Amino acid sequence: MRLIACLLSFAVLISCKNTTEDPKEINDGTATTEVEVVKDTLIYPGEKHFKSIRQVTFGGDNAEAYWSFDDKQLVFQSNFTEWGVGCDQMFLMNSDETFNGTQPPMISTGKGRTTCAYFLPDNKHFVYGSTHLKDENCPEVPLRKNGKYVWPVYDSFDIFVSDLEGNITGQLTDEPGYDAEATVSPVGDKIVFTSMRSGDLELYTMNIDGSDVQQITDELGYDGGAFFSPDGTKLIFRSSRPKTEEEIKEYKDLLAQGLVQPTEMELYICNADGSDLRQLTNLGNANWSPFFHPSGEKILFSSNFEAERGFPFNLYLIDIDGKNLERVTHGETFDAFPVFSNDGKYLAFSSNRNNGGTRDTNLFIAEWQD
């Protein structure tokens, strides 16, 4: 799952059968870089794809900002204590708003822990994962197991539909085990999500109303964080697929405890029905939070593959055939969760930039230029 506090700790500490060419070989081990001087102090030198940038939040951990289908609003998760929450809850904002000393409306229940909200096509409802049915309190967040960094995958997560006033209007999953990480096709017909219902963390799709559930991946390992291509025909996702006997045992042992280890993840791409599975990256370390470029021909994602001690995480572009890897951001800490607006003009992402040396992760909206 995509827990912001866990990811921050990770940054400080630190489904696919046919592999494409190794980008490290294509790019001689280094993503292409063009350094230039820019005037906007929120844009670092070399960030040529950002025409302008605006900071949206100013405190706490804020991430996974997803656009409404009409690009007028975004829903995002935050654990900012000054907004009266003890763990991640969902908040609503207009696309032109900034919250420096002000608070956006909370549109989740305020109970349990929530994750991965995404607008539905009517722009009046959204889906999100929540643990509140099992316990209204925030669940504990284990960060380490046997000295290794881990993420919890709570079996209490289910996927709900809510209106923009925070009223739950439907429940889409009720299977035992983890159901979360739901995102909606830009075409507006399907939802993709991660579930433990098979005994492993696999991808599934369903109709907007929760009907016609189809299993998409079936190989051992954590498949999650999936997004549809702009035309709804493909899926991009992250996976930590164990190969050796030792890796398989460690994965299964952790999963039995409701944990996964996300320090080694690669990106995979497939058709929306699960066919033509192939590995997109082979970079090492953690490659995750992928999102399709508006053209549908490239993927923007976060990675620490160039890092020696687990950080920084920066954003990279790569073609859907695994070629032409390009570094997009040039921070020294953490850039992740990139999401393009539906019109392709803007990019929402989370970053540690301009946080005054704290561990706060804030939302930023950049005007994108190719």
Count up the domains in the chain and report the number. 1
Q: pLDDT at position 143, please? A: 76
Mean pLDDT of 82-104: 97
Q: pLDDT at position 33, please? A: 46
Average pLDDT, the chain: 90
- Say what the pTM is: 0.90
**Which secondary-structure segment (H or E) carries 302?**
strand 298-303
Strand partners, 347: 340, 366
Is residue 28 scored above 80 in pLDDT? no
For the stretch 34-67, pLDDT in tens is: 444 445 789 999 999 999 999 999 999 999 999 9
What CATH code is carried by the domain that includes residue 275? 2.120.10.30
Q: Are 196 and 142 in contact (CB under 8 A)?
A: no
Is residue 31 scored above 60 in pLDDT? no
Q: Are 148 and 154 in contact (CB under 8 A)?
A: no
Q: pLDDT at position 146, please? A: 73
For the stretch 262-292, pLDDT in tens is: 999 999 999 999 999 999 999 999 999 999 9
C-alpha 269/C-alpha 279 separation (Å) is 6
Cis peptide before 312 (omega within 30 of 0): yes
Is residue 25 scored above 50 in pLDDT? no
For the stretch 180-231, pLDDT in tens is: 999 999 999 999 999 999 999 999 999 999 999 999 999 999 999 999 999 9
Q: Are 325 and 316 in contact (CB under 8 A)?
A: yes
Mean pLDDT of 242-263: 95
Q: Burial, 357: exposed, middle or buried (Cβ in 10 Å; 0-12, 13-18, 19+)?
A: exposed
**At 45, is the secondary structure helix, strand, or coil?**
coil
For the stretch 309-363, pLDDT in tens is: 888 999 999 999 999 999 999 999 999 999 999 999 999 999 999 999 999 999 9
Q: pLDDT at position 39, please? A: 59
Q: pLDDT at position 40, please? A: 74
- Domain with 118, as residue range(s), is 4-368
Is residue 16 scored above 70 in pLDDT? no
The percent of residues above 90 in pLDDT, for the chain, comes to: 85
For the stretch 117-164, pLDDT in tens is: 999 999 999 999 999 999 999 999 877 777 778 999 999 999 999 999
Q: Are 98 and 363 in contact (CB under 8 A)?
A: no
Is residue 2 scored above 70 in pLDDT? no
Strand partners, 316: 301, 327
DSSP 159-179: EEEEETTS-EEEE---SSS-E
Q: Are 48 and 32 in contact (CB under 8 A)?
A: no
How does residue 7 score in pLDDT terms, banded at 50, 70 and 90? Answer: very low
How does residue 12 score in pLDDT terms, banded at 50, 70 and 90? Answer: very low
